[in-house]
Amino acid sequence: MMQAKVQNIQANLDKLLCPEVHVLHRSWPSFQICGYTGLACAILLSVSLVIHQGLSSWVMAGIILVAVLTFLAQAMLTKIVTGSEDLVYYRHEVAVLSMAALFLWIVHQPVLPYIDATQLGVGIFLACGRVGCLMVGCCHGRPHRWGVCYGDEHARAGFAPYLVGVRLFPSQALESLWVLCIVVVGSLLVLTGHKPGTALTWYVVTYDIGRFYSEFMRGDVERPYALGFSEAQWVSVLLLCIVVCAEVVGILPFQWWHVLAAFVVICTMIVVSLRRRFQSVSMYRLLHPYHVKEIAGVLKRVSRDISASVQVERTSLGIQLSYSYIKSETGEFYHYTLSHLSGNMREDAARTIAKLIMQLTHHEGSHKLLTPGPGIFHLLIEASQQDAGSRVSDSPHMKLELEQQLSKASV
- In angstroms, the CA 46 to CA 221 distance is 34
pLDDT at position 255 is 93
- In angstroms, the CA 168 to CA 137 distance is 10
pLDDT at position 7 is 67
Spell out the domains of the chain, with CATH numbers in brackets. 2-278 (no CATH), 289-409 (3.40.1720)
pTM of the model: 0.87
- In angstroms, the CA 390 to CA 411 distance is 26
pLDDT of 183-213, one tens digit each?
Answer: 999 999 999 999 999 999 999 999 999 999 9
pLDDT at position 3 is 64
Residues of the chain below pLDDT 70: 1-4, 6-7, 280-281, 305-310, 384-411
Specify the amino acid at residue 350: A
pLDDT at position 410 is 47
Alpha-carbon separation of residue 378 from 52, 157, 205, 322 (angstroms): 66, 36, 47, 10
Contacts of 111 by beta carbon, 8 Å cutoff, 6+ apart: 101, 104, 105
For 150-172, give one letter per residue: b (16+ CB within 10 A) or e: bbeebbebebbebbbebbbbbbb
